[in-house]
Structure 1
Protein backbone atom coordinates (compact mmCIF):
# COMPACT_ATOMS: atom_id res chain seq x y z
CA UNK A 1 0.00 0.00 0.00
CA UNK A 2 1.35 3.45 -0.85
CA UNK A 3 2.00 5.73 2.08
CA UNK A 4 -0.56 8.33 0.96
CA UNK A 5 -3.23 5.64 0.76
CA UNK A 6 -2.97 4.59 4.37
CA UNK A 7 -6.21 4.98 6.31
CA UNK A 8 -4.74 4.49 9.80
CA UNK A 9 -1.33 4.93 11.44
CA UNK A 10 0.85 1.86 11.84
CA UNK A 11 2.28 1.44 15.35
CA UNK A 12 5.99 0.97 15.74
CA UNK A 13 7.17 -2.52 14.78
CA UNK A 14 4.34 -3.30 12.34
CA UNK A 15 5.04 -3.80 8.64
CA UNK A 16 3.69 -1.08 6.36
CA UNK A 17 1.26 -3.43 4.60
CA UNK A 18 0.69 -5.71 7.57
CA UNK A 19 -2.48 -6.14 9.59
CA UNK A 20 -0.40 -6.57 12.78
CA UNK A 21 -1.47 -3.18 14.10
CA UNK A 22 -5.08 -4.46 14.33
CA UNK A 23 -4.49 -8.11 15.19
CA UNK A 24 -4.52 -7.99 19.00
CA UNK A 25 -6.10 -5.86 21.75
CA UNK A 26 -2.56 -4.93 22.83
CA UNK A 27 -1.60 -3.62 19.38
CA UNK A 28 -4.89 -1.70 19.08
CA UNK A 29 -4.31 -0.06 22.46
CA UNK A 30 -1.84 2.28 20.75
CA UNK A 31 -4.63 3.81 18.65
CA UNK A 32 -6.38 6.94 19.86
CA UNK A 33 -10.20 7.04 20.17
CA UNK A 34 -11.89 8.90 17.33
CA UNK A 35 -15.27 9.32 15.65
CA UNK A 36 -14.42 7.35 12.48
CA UNK A 37 -13.05 3.82 12.11
CA UNK A 38 -9.42 3.09 11.35
CA UNK A 39 -9.50 1.41 7.95
CA UNK A 40 -7.14 -1.30 6.71
CA UNK A 41 -7.23 -2.06 2.97
CA UNK A 42 -7.67 -5.78 2.39
CA UNK A 43 -8.10 -5.66 -1.37
CA UNK A 44 -9.24 -3.36 -4.12
CA UNK A 45 -12.23 -1.45 -2.78
CA UNK A 46 -12.42 -3.59 0.39
CA UNK A 47 -11.51 -2.42 3.89
CA UNK A 48 -11.68 -3.87 7.37
CA UNK A 49 -12.40 -1.17 9.93
CA UNK A 50 -11.69 -0.82 13.64
CA UNK A 51 -13.68 1.83 15.48
CA UNK A 52 -12.38 2.95 18.87
CA UNK A 53 -14.56 5.12 21.04
CA UNK A 54 -14.00 6.39 24.54
CA UNK A 55 -15.57 3.29 26.15
CA UNK A 56 -16.10 0.72 23.43
CA UNK A 57 -14.65 -0.62 20.21
CA UNK A 58 -16.16 -2.38 17.21
CA UNK A 59 -15.31 -4.01 13.90
CA UNK A 60 -16.65 -2.74 10.57
CA UNK A 61 -16.30 -3.59 6.89
CA UNK A 62 -16.82 -1.41 3.87
CA UNK A 63 -16.97 -1.87 0.11
CA UNK A 64 -16.30 0.74 -2.56
CA UNK A 65 -19.40 1.06 -4.76
CA UNK A 66 -18.27 3.87 -7.05
CA UNK A 67 -18.37 7.67 -7.31
CA UNK A 68 -16.38 8.03 -4.11
CA UNK A 69 -18.99 6.15 -2.06
CA UNK A 70 -18.71 3.12 0.21
CA UNK A 71 -21.26 0.69 1.59
CA UNK A 72 -20.50 -0.08 5.24
CA UNK A 73 -21.60 -2.72 7.73
CA UNK A 74 -21.16 -3.15 11.48
CA UNK A 75 -19.64 -6.60 12.09
CA UNK A 76 -19.67 -6.72 15.90
CA UNK A 77 -17.87 -5.57 19.02
CA UNK A 78 -14.11 -5.86 19.30
CA UNK A 79 -12.56 -8.05 21.99
CA UNK A 80 -10.65 -5.17 23.58
CA UNK A 81 -12.19 -5.52 27.04
CA UNK A 82 -14.01 -8.89 26.92
CA UNK A 83 -13.33 -12.27 25.42
CA UNK A 84 -14.49 -13.03 21.90
CA UNK A 85 -17.55 -15.28 21.61
CA UNK A 86 -17.71 -15.41 17.81
CA UNK A 87 -21.18 -13.85 17.78
CA UNK A 88 -21.48 -10.34 19.17
CA UNK A 89 -17.85 -10.00 20.31
CA UNK A 90 -15.20 -10.75 17.68
CA UNK A 91 -11.44 -11.09 17.69
CA UNK A 92 -9.44 -10.01 14.66
CA UNK A 93 -9.62 -13.33 12.80
CA UNK A 94 -13.38 -13.59 13.39
CA UNK A 95 -13.88 -10.03 12.12
CA UNK A 96 -11.85 -10.93 9.03
CA UNK A 97 -13.99 -14.03 8.39
CA UNK A 98 -17.23 -12.10 8.82
CA UNK A 99 -16.08 -9.30 6.53
CA UNK A 100 -15.21 -11.84 3.82
CA UNK A 101 -18.69 -13.35 4.18
CA UNK A 102 -20.15 -9.94 3.48
CA UNK A 103 -17.81 -9.07 0.62
CA UNK A 104 -18.44 -12.43 -1.03
CA UNK A 105 -22.18 -11.88 -0.78
CA UNK A 106 -21.65 -8.60 -2.60
CA UNK A 107 -19.75 -10.36 -5.35
CA UNK A 108 -16.39 -9.00 -4.18
CA UNK A 109 -15.12 -11.87 -2.07
CA UNK A 110 -12.41 -14.44 -2.67
CA UNK A 111 -13.15 -16.66 -5.62
CA UNK A 112 -12.19 -20.33 -5.78
CA UNK A 113 -8.44 -20.74 -6.02
CA UNK A 114 -7.71 -17.07 -5.37
CA UNK A 115 -5.29 -16.25 -2.58
CA UNK A 116 -6.82 -14.43 0.38
CA UNK A 117 -4.59 -11.56 1.61
CA UNK A 118 -5.65 -12.25 5.20
CA UNK A 119 -5.50 -16.03 5.01
CA UNK A 120 -9.22 -16.68 4.96
CA UNK A 121 -9.20 -18.73 1.76
CA UNK A 122 -12.89 -19.58 1.60
CA UNK A 123 -16.23 -18.48 0.23
CA UNK A 124 -19.21 -18.28 2.59
CA UNK A 125 -22.23 -20.48 2.15
CA UNK A 126 -24.69 -17.63 2.38
CA UNK A 127 -24.78 -13.90 1.89
CA UNK A 128 -24.59 -11.47 4.79
CA UNK A 129 -26.58 -8.41 3.84
CA UNK A 130 -26.52 -4.86 5.05
CA UNK A 131 -29.76 -2.92 5.48
CA UNK A 132 -31.27 0.11 7.14
CA UNK A 133 -31.04 -1.54 10.56
CA UNK A 134 -27.25 -1.62 10.19
CA UNK A 135 -27.38 2.11 9.54
CA UNK A 136 -29.21 2.59 12.86
CA UNK A 137 -26.61 0.48 14.69
CA UNK A 138 -23.72 2.34 13.05
CA UNK A 139 -25.22 5.71 13.94
CA UNK A 140 -25.64 4.85 17.63
CA UNK A 141 -22.21 3.19 17.84
CA UNK A 142 -20.66 6.44 16.68
CA UNK A 143 -22.88 8.88 18.58
CA UNK A 144 -23.00 7.02 21.92
CA UNK A 145 -20.07 4.58 22.03
CA UNK A 146 -20.32 4.63 25.83
CA UNK A 147 -23.67 2.77 25.72
CA UNK A 148 -24.20 -0.88 24.88
CA UNK A 149 -27.14 -0.82 22.47
CA UNK A 150 -26.39 -4.09 20.68
CA UNK A 151 -29.68 -5.69 21.75
CA UNK A 152 -31.67 -2.89 20.16
CA UNK A 153 -30.64 -4.12 16.73
CA UNK A 154 -31.58 -7.69 17.63
CA UNK A 155 -35.08 -6.67 18.76
CA UNK A 156 -35.55 -4.57 15.62
CA UNK A 157 -34.72 -7.62 13.50
CA UNK A 158 -37.11 -9.82 15.50
CA UNK A 159 -39.83 -7.23 14.93
CA UNK A 160 -39.01 -7.05 11.23
CA UNK A 161 -39.05 -10.86 10.92
CA UNK A 162 -42.47 -10.95 12.61
CA UNK A 163 -43.78 -8.28 10.25
CA UNK A 164 -42.52 -10.19 7.20
CA UNK A 165 -44.04 -13.45 8.49
CA UNK A 166 -47.40 -11.74 9.03
CA UNK A 167 -47.20 -10.31 5.53
CA UNK A 168 -46.75 -13.84 4.16
CA UNK A 169 -49.74 -15.01 6.21
CA UNK A 170 -51.81 -12.14 4.85
CA UNK A 171 -51.07 -13.31 1.30
CA UNK A 172 -52.04 -16.88 2.23
CA UNK A 173 -55.21 -15.63 3.92
CA UNK A 174 -56.21 -13.73 0.80
CA UNK A 175 -55.57 -16.82 -1.33
CA UNK A 176 -57.94 -18.96 0.77
CA UNK A 177 -60.59 -16.25 1.12
CA UNK A 178 -60.29 -14.88 4.67
CA UNK A 179 -58.34 -12.11 6.34
CA UNK A 180 -55.24 -12.80 8.45
CA UNK A 181 -57.06 -12.34 11.77
CA UNK A 182 -59.69 -14.88 10.77
CA UNK A 183 -56.99 -17.27 9.59
CA UNK A 184 -55.37 -17.15 13.02
CA UNK A 185 -58.70 -18.24 14.54
CA UNK A 186 -59.06 -21.13 12.09
CA UNK A 187 -55.51 -22.32 12.70
CA UNK A 188 -55.92 -22.08 16.48
CA UNK A 189 -59.03 -24.28 16.28
CA UNK A 190 -57.39 -26.73 13.88
CA UNK A 191 -54.28 -27.32 15.97
CA UNK A 192 -56.18 -28.36 19.11
CA UNK A 193 -57.34 -31.46 17.26
CA UNK A 194 -60.78 -33.03 16.82
CA UNK A 195 -63.44 -31.92 17.46
CA UNK A 196 -61.63 -28.59 16.76
CA UNK A 197 -63.49 -26.67 19.44
CA UNK A 198 -62.52 -23.88 21.84
CA UNK A 199 -64.32 -21.40 24.05
CA UNK A 200 -64.09 -17.74 22.96
CA UNK A 201 -62.13 -16.91 26.13
CA UNK A 202 -59.56 -19.60 25.28
CA UNK A 203 -59.30 -18.25 21.75
CA UNK A 204 -58.51 -14.66 22.67
CA UNK A 205 -55.98 -15.81 25.27
CA UNK A 206 -54.30 -18.07 22.72
CA UNK A 207 -54.23 -15.35 20.07
CA UNK A 208 -53.18 -12.52 22.44
CA UNK A 209 -55.96 -10.22 21.24
CA UNK A 210 -58.99 -8.67 22.92
CA UNK A 211 -62.24 -10.55 23.42
CA UNK A 212 -64.00 -7.99 21.21
CA UNK A 213 -61.60 -8.64 18.33
CA UNK A 214 -62.12 -12.40 18.62
CA UNK A 215 -65.92 -11.98 18.72
CA UNK A 216 -65.89 -9.99 15.46
CA UNK A 217 -63.71 -12.60 13.77
CA UNK A 218 -65.98 -15.41 14.96
CA UNK A 219 -69.04 -13.58 13.66
CA UNK A 220 -67.51 -13.22 10.21
CA UNK A 221 -66.33 -16.84 10.14
CA UNK A 222 -69.76 -18.04 11.23
CA UNK A 223 -71.42 -16.10 8.40
CA UNK A 224 -68.95 -17.76 6.01
CA UNK A 225 -69.93 -21.20 7.39
CA UNK A 226 -66.34 -21.88 8.50
CA UNK A 227 -67.16 -22.13 12.22
CA UNK A 228 -70.28 -22.85 14.24
CA UNK A 229 -71.36 -22.02 17.80
CA UNK A 230 -72.37 -25.02 19.89
CA UNK A 231 -73.74 -24.82 23.41
CA UNK A 232 -71.41 -26.12 26.09
CA UNK A 233 -73.27 -28.81 28.05
CA UNK A 234 -70.96 -28.28 31.04
CA UNK A 235 -71.40 -24.51 31.11
CA UNK A 236 -74.75 -23.26 29.82
CA UNK A 237 -73.51 -19.66 29.97
CA UNK A 238 -70.86 -20.36 27.34
CA UNK A 239 -70.60 -21.81 23.87
CA UNK A 240 -67.92 -23.70 21.99
CA UNK A 241 -66.60 -22.40 18.69
CA UNK A 242 -66.17 -25.37 16.37
CA UNK A 243 -64.67 -25.68 12.90
CA UNK A 244 -67.07 -26.84 10.23
CA UNK A 245 -65.95 -29.40 7.67
CA UNK A 246 -65.24 -26.57 5.25
CA UNK A 247 -63.34 -24.73 7.97
CA UNK A 248 -61.10 -27.76 8.55
CA UNK A 249 -60.39 -28.01 4.82
CA UNK A 250 -59.52 -24.33 4.58
CA UNK A 251 -57.28 -24.46 7.68
CA UNK A 252 -55.44 -27.50 6.29
CA UNK A 253 -54.93 -25.79 2.93
CA UNK A 254 -53.59 -22.65 4.64
CA UNK A 255 -51.15 -24.47 6.92
CA UNK A 256 -49.87 -26.46 3.92
CA UNK A 257 -49.11 -23.12 2.21
CA UNK A 258 -47.36 -21.92 5.37
CA UNK A 259 -45.24 -25.07 5.55
CA UNK A 260 -44.25 -24.80 1.90
CA UNK A 261 -43.19 -21.20 2.34
CA UNK A 262 -41.16 -22.00 5.45
CA UNK A 263 -39.46 -24.91 3.68
CA UNK A 264 -38.43 -22.63 0.84
CA UNK A 265 -37.17 -20.02 3.30
CA UNK A 266 -35.26 -22.61 5.32
CA UNK A 267 -33.53 -23.91 2.19
CA UNK A 268 -32.61 -20.38 1.15
CA UNK A 269 -31.16 -19.59 4.59
CA UNK A 270 -29.02 -22.71 4.53
CA UNK A 271 -28.95 -23.26 8.31
CA UNK A 272 -28.65 -26.75 9.72
CA UNK A 273 -31.07 -28.27 12.24
CA UNK A 274 -28.45 -27.71 14.95
CA UNK A 275 -28.11 -24.04 14.01
CA UNK A 276 -31.87 -23.52 14.06
CA UNK A 277 -32.03 -25.22 17.47
CA UNK A 278 -29.25 -22.99 18.78
CA UNK A 279 -30.98 -19.85 17.50
CA UNK A 280 -34.25 -20.99 19.08
CA UNK A 281 -32.47 -21.65 22.39
CA UNK A 282 -31.02 -18.12 22.44
CA UNK A 283 -34.44 -16.59 21.76
CA UNK A 284 -35.95 -18.68 24.55
CA UNK A 285 -33.33 -17.38 26.98
CA UNK A 286 -34.05 -13.78 25.94
CA UNK A 287 -37.81 -14.24 26.37
CA UNK A 288 -37.32 -15.97 29.75
CA UNK A 289 -35.28 -13.02 31.06
CA UNK A 290 -37.73 -10.44 29.71
CA UNK A 291 -40.74 -12.27 31.12
Structure 2
Protein backbone atom coordinates (compact mmCIF):
# COMPACT_ATOMS: atom_id res chain seq x y z
CA UNK A 1 0.00 0.00 0.00
CA UNK A 2 1.26 3.40 -0.93
CA UNK A 3 1.98 5.75 1.99
CA UNK A 4 2.55 8.86 -0.18
CA UNK A 5 -1.03 10.13 -0.17
CA UNK A 6 -1.64 9.96 3.57
CA UNK A 7 1.67 11.75 4.10
CA UNK A 8 0.71 14.86 2.10
CA UNK A 9 -1.78 16.33 4.56
CA UNK A 10 0.71 15.92 7.36
CA UNK A 11 3.43 17.67 5.28
CA UNK A 12 1.04 20.52 4.37
CA UNK A 13 0.03 20.99 7.98
CA UNK A 14 3.68 21.05 9.01
CA UNK A 15 4.52 23.73 6.43
CA UNK A 16 1.55 25.82 7.51
CA UNK A 17 2.61 25.50 11.13
CA UNK A 18 6.16 26.61 10.33
CA UNK A 19 4.94 29.53 8.21
CA UNK A 20 2.51 30.65 10.91
CA UNK A 21 5.21 30.51 13.54
CA UNK A 22 7.60 32.49 11.35
CA UNK A 23 4.93 35.12 10.67
CA UNK A 24 4.12 35.40 14.37
CA UNK A 25 7.79 35.81 15.20
CA UNK A 26 8.19 38.53 12.56
CA UNK A 27 5.14 40.45 13.77
CA UNK A 28 6.27 40.07 17.37
CA UNK A 29 9.74 41.33 16.56
CA UNK A 30 8.26 44.29 14.69
CA UNK A 31 6.00 45.22 17.60
CA UNK A 32 8.86 44.83 20.03
CA UNK A 33 11.02 47.09 17.89
CA UNK A 34 8.26 49.69 17.84
CA UNK A 35 7.76 49.46 21.60
CA UNK A 36 11.46 49.71 22.36
CA UNK A 37 12.51 52.19 19.72
CA UNK A 38 13.69 54.69 22.29
CA UNK A 39 15.61 52.00 24.15
CA UNK A 40 17.34 50.99 20.92
CA UNK A 41 18.26 54.60 20.25
CA UNK A 42 19.60 54.95 23.77
CA UNK A 43 21.69 51.80 23.28
CA UNK A 44 23.65 53.56 20.55
CA UNK A 45 24.86 56.23 23.00
CA UNK A 46 28.08 55.87 24.97
CA UNK A 47 28.00 55.37 28.74
CA UNK A 48 30.27 58.01 30.32
CA UNK A 49 31.45 57.43 33.86
CA UNK A 50 30.89 61.09 34.74
CA UNK A 51 28.92 63.93 33.15
CA UNK A 52 29.33 67.55 34.22
CA UNK A 53 26.81 70.08 32.84
CA UNK A 54 27.67 73.77 33.15
CA UNK A 55 24.76 76.22 32.88
CA UNK A 56 25.60 79.68 31.58
CA UNK A 57 23.35 82.69 31.03
CA UNK A 58 21.62 84.85 28.46
CA UNK A 59 23.83 84.67 25.37
CA UNK A 60 23.13 83.73 21.79
CA UNK A 61 25.10 81.24 19.71
CA UNK A 62 26.69 83.98 17.62
CA UNK A 63 27.84 85.86 20.74
CA UNK A 64 29.97 82.91 21.87
CA UNK A 65 30.83 80.56 19.01
CA UNK A 66 33.47 82.21 16.85
CA UNK A 67 33.88 85.10 19.29
CA UNK A 68 37.38 86.20 20.26
CA UNK A 69 35.95 87.03 23.70
CA UNK A 70 35.44 83.32 24.42
CA UNK A 71 38.70 81.61 23.41
CA UNK A 72 38.41 78.74 25.87
CA UNK A 73 34.84 77.82 24.96
CA UNK A 74 35.80 77.90 21.29
CA UNK A 75 38.75 75.62 21.98
CA UNK A 76 36.32 73.16 23.57
CA UNK A 77 34.05 73.45 20.54
CA UNK A 78 36.96 72.74 18.21
CA UNK A 79 38.17 69.78 20.24
CA UNK A 80 34.69 68.42 20.84
CA UNK A 81 31.26 69.10 19.38
CA UNK A 82 29.16 72.22 18.99
CA UNK A 83 25.42 72.07 18.32
CA UNK A 84 24.69 74.53 15.54
CA UNK A 85 20.95 74.62 16.20
CA UNK A 86 20.48 74.44 19.96
CA UNK A 87 17.58 76.36 21.49
CA UNK A 88 16.16 77.44 24.82
CA UNK A 89 12.50 76.76 25.57
CA UNK A 90 11.22 80.17 26.60
CA UNK A 91 12.02 83.40 28.44
CA UNK A 92 12.98 84.41 31.11
CA UNK A 93 15.72 82.30 32.67
CA UNK A 94 14.12 80.19 35.38
CA UNK A 95 11.66 78.12 33.31
CA UNK A 96 14.54 76.94 31.16
CA UNK A 97 16.39 75.54 34.17
CA UNK A 98 13.30 73.57 35.17
CA UNK A 99 12.91 72.36 31.57
CA UNK A 100 16.41 70.94 31.29
CA UNK A 101 16.18 69.36 34.75
CA UNK A 102 12.63 67.99 34.80
CA UNK A 103 11.27 68.04 31.24
CA UNK A 104 8.77 70.76 32.10
CA UNK A 105 8.73 74.39 33.11
CA UNK A 106 6.48 73.22 35.98
CA UNK A 107 4.17 76.18 35.43
CA UNK A 108 6.89 78.68 36.23
CA UNK A 109 6.81 81.77 34.04
CA UNK A 110 9.02 84.22 35.95
CA UNK A 111 12.26 84.52 37.89
CA UNK A 112 10.83 84.77 41.39
CA UNK A 113 11.84 82.43 44.21
CA UNK A 114 9.90 79.16 44.29
CA UNK A 115 8.67 77.21 47.31
CA UNK A 116 11.36 74.78 48.43
CA UNK A 117 10.27 71.13 48.30
CA UNK A 118 6.93 72.00 46.72
CA UNK A 119 7.23 69.74 43.67
CA UNK A 120 7.27 65.96 43.28
CA UNK A 121 7.50 65.51 39.50
CA UNK A 122 10.14 63.11 38.13
CA UNK A 123 13.41 64.80 37.26
CA UNK A 124 16.98 63.96 36.31
CA UNK A 125 18.15 63.67 39.93
CA UNK A 126 15.26 61.49 41.10
CA UNK A 127 15.74 59.20 38.09
CA UNK A 128 19.46 58.86 38.72
CA UNK A 129 18.89 58.01 42.37
CA UNK A 130 16.16 55.47 41.55
CA UNK A 131 18.46 53.80 39.02
CA UNK A 132 21.30 53.48 41.52
CA UNK A 133 23.34 56.26 39.93
CA UNK A 134 24.56 59.37 41.73
CA UNK A 135 23.67 63.05 41.44
CA UNK A 136 24.94 66.38 42.72
CA UNK A 137 24.90 70.09 41.94
CA UNK A 138 27.75 72.53 42.58
CA UNK A 139 26.47 76.06 43.01
CA UNK A 140 28.89 78.97 43.16
CA UNK A 141 28.25 81.44 46.01
CA UNK A 142 25.67 79.15 47.65
CA UNK A 143 26.10 80.10 51.34
CA UNK A 144 26.40 76.50 52.53
CA UNK A 145 25.66 72.96 51.40
CA UNK A 146 21.91 72.43 51.18
CA UNK A 147 21.08 76.10 51.74
CA UNK A 148 17.62 76.93 50.41
CA UNK A 149 18.05 80.69 50.59
CA UNK A 150 16.47 82.72 47.80
CA UNK A 151 19.35 85.15 47.24
CA UNK A 152 22.76 85.70 48.71
CA UNK A 153 25.23 88.09 47.10
CA UNK A 154 25.80 86.78 43.57
CA UNK A 155 23.92 83.55 44.28
CA UNK A 156 20.38 83.21 42.89
CA UNK A 157 18.02 80.34 43.69
CA UNK A 158 16.29 80.83 40.32
CA UNK A 159 19.21 79.05 38.64
CA UNK A 160 18.99 76.03 40.95
CA UNK A 161 15.71 74.15 40.32
CA UNK A 162 16.69 71.04 42.32
CA UNK A 163 15.73 72.63 45.63
CA UNK A 164 12.11 72.83 44.46
CA UNK A 165 11.73 69.03 44.36
CA UNK A 166 10.97 66.97 47.46
CA UNK A 167 12.35 63.86 45.70
CA UNK A 168 15.85 65.40 45.47
CA UNK A 169 17.92 65.40 48.69
CA UNK A 170 18.61 68.96 49.79
CA UNK A 171 22.11 67.94 50.78
CA UNK A 172 22.95 67.10 47.16
CA UNK A 173 23.07 70.85 46.55
CA UNK A 174 26.75 71.57 47.19
CA UNK A 175 28.77 74.75 47.15
CA UNK A 176 31.18 75.05 44.24
CA UNK A 177 34.04 74.94 46.75
CA UNK A 178 33.03 71.29 47.25
CA UNK A 179 33.65 70.38 43.61
CA UNK A 180 36.16 67.54 44.02
CA UNK A 181 39.74 67.84 42.86
CA UNK A 182 39.71 64.06 42.45
CA UNK A 183 37.35 63.94 39.48
CA UNK A 184 36.79 60.23 39.92
CA UNK A 185 34.73 61.11 43.00
CA UNK A 186 32.23 63.15 40.99
CA UNK A 187 28.63 61.89 40.79
CA UNK A 188 27.41 60.13 37.67
CA UNK A 189 25.78 63.41 36.61
CA UNK A 190 26.34 66.82 38.15
CA UNK A 191 25.35 70.36 37.30
CA UNK A 192 27.70 73.29 37.84
CA UNK A 193 26.07 76.70 38.18
CA UNK A 194 28.39 79.73 38.32
CA UNK A 195 27.19 82.82 40.16
CA UNK A 196 25.51 85.81 38.52
CA UNK A 197 28.82 87.29 37.44
CA UNK A 198 30.67 84.23 36.23
CA UNK A 199 27.71 82.81 34.32
CA UNK A 200 27.85 85.91 32.05
CA UNK A 201 24.55 87.27 33.39
CA UNK A 202 26.04 90.34 35.07
CA UNK A 203 29.60 90.21 33.77
CA UNK A 204 31.27 89.92 30.39
CA UNK A 205 31.67 86.98 28.04
CA UNK A 206 35.40 87.09 28.76
CA UNK A 207 34.79 86.85 32.51
CA UNK A 208 32.64 83.75 32.13
CA UNK A 209 34.98 82.16 29.62
CA UNK A 210 37.93 82.66 31.95
CA UNK A 211 35.95 81.23 34.87
CA UNK A 212 35.26 78.02 32.98
CA UNK A 213 38.90 77.74 31.98
CA UNK A 214 40.22 78.45 35.47
CA UNK A 215 37.79 76.14 37.24
CA UNK A 216 36.94 73.35 34.83
CA UNK A 217 39.82 72.99 32.36
CA UNK A 218 41.33 70.38 34.65
CA UNK A 219 38.16 68.31 34.49
CA UNK A 220 37.88 68.82 30.72
CA UNK A 221 41.42 67.55 30.17
CA UNK A 222 40.80 64.61 32.51
CA UNK A 223 37.52 63.76 30.77
CA UNK A 224 39.38 63.22 27.48
CA UNK A 225 41.15 60.18 28.89
CA UNK A 226 38.69 58.97 31.54
CA UNK A 227 35.48 58.22 29.63
CA UNK A 228 33.80 61.36 30.91
CA UNK A 229 31.87 64.26 29.43
CA UNK A 230 31.68 68.04 29.87
CA UNK A 231 28.63 69.91 28.59
CA UNK A 232 28.48 73.71 28.50
CA UNK A 233 25.12 75.18 27.57
CA UNK A 234 23.00 78.28 28.18
CA UNK A 235 19.54 78.85 29.59
CA UNK A 236 18.37 81.32 26.92
CA UNK A 237 19.72 83.76 24.35
CA UNK A 238 19.82 87.55 24.52
CA UNK A 239 16.23 87.72 23.16
CA UNK A 240 17.54 88.73 19.74
CA UNK A 241 18.34 85.40 18.07
CA UNK A 242 15.20 83.27 18.21
CA UNK A 243 16.45 81.74 21.48
CA UNK A 244 19.37 80.02 19.73
CA UNK A 245 21.99 79.21 22.36
CA UNK A 246 25.56 77.86 22.39
CA UNK A 247 25.92 74.22 23.43
CA UNK A 248 29.32 72.53 23.49
CA UNK A 249 30.13 68.91 24.41
CA UNK A 250 33.66 67.73 25.13
CA UNK A 251 35.36 64.57 26.39
CA UNK A 252 36.42 61.08 25.44
CA UNK A 253 32.98 59.97 24.18
CA UNK A 254 32.78 62.92 21.73
CA UNK A 255 34.12 63.05 18.17
CA UNK A 256 36.34 66.11 17.86
CA UNK A 257 35.26 68.73 15.36
CA UNK A 258 31.67 67.62 14.96
CA UNK A 259 28.97 70.24 14.46
CA UNK A 260 25.53 68.72 13.79
CA UNK A 261 22.88 70.99 12.30
CA UNK A 262 19.86 69.09 13.67
CA UNK A 263 17.64 71.21 15.90
CA UNK A 264 17.76 70.43 19.63
CA UNK A 265 16.37 72.08 22.76
CA UNK A 266 16.54 71.61 26.55
CA UNK A 267 14.17 68.64 26.44
CA UNK A 268 16.48 66.90 23.96
CA UNK A 269 19.42 67.64 26.25
CA UNK A 270 17.59 66.14 29.22
CA UNK A 271 16.69 63.00 27.26
CA UNK A 272 20.31 62.64 26.15
CA UNK A 273 21.58 62.96 29.72
CA UNK A 274 19.05 60.38 30.88
CA UNK A 275 20.09 57.94 28.16
CA UNK A 276 23.82 58.54 28.60
CA UNK A 277 23.35 57.65 32.28
CA UNK A 278 21.04 54.73 31.37
CA UNK A 279 18.39 55.62 33.93
CA UNK A 280 15.71 53.87 31.86
CA UNK A 281 13.19 56.71 32.15
CA UNK A 282 12.42 60.10 30.67
CA UNK A 283 10.94 62.98 32.65
CA UNK A 284 8.13 65.10 31.22
CA UNK A 285 8.63 66.20 27.62
CA UNK A 286 11.95 64.39 27.40
CA UNK A 287 9.83 61.31 26.65
CA UNK A 288 8.97 62.78 23.25
CA UNK A 289 12.36 64.38 22.65
CA UNK A 290 15.35 63.19 20.59
CA UNK A 291 18.79 62.06 21.67
CA UNK A 292 21.63 64.24 20.40
CA UNK A 293 23.22 62.34 17.53
CA UNK A 294 26.20 62.49 15.19
CA UNK A 295 28.79 63.47 17.78
CA UNK A 296 29.66 60.24 19.58
CA UNK A 297 32.71 58.01 19.25
Structure 1 length-normalised TM: 0.20
Structure in which a larger fraction of residues adopt helix: 1
Structure 2 length-normalised TM: 0.20
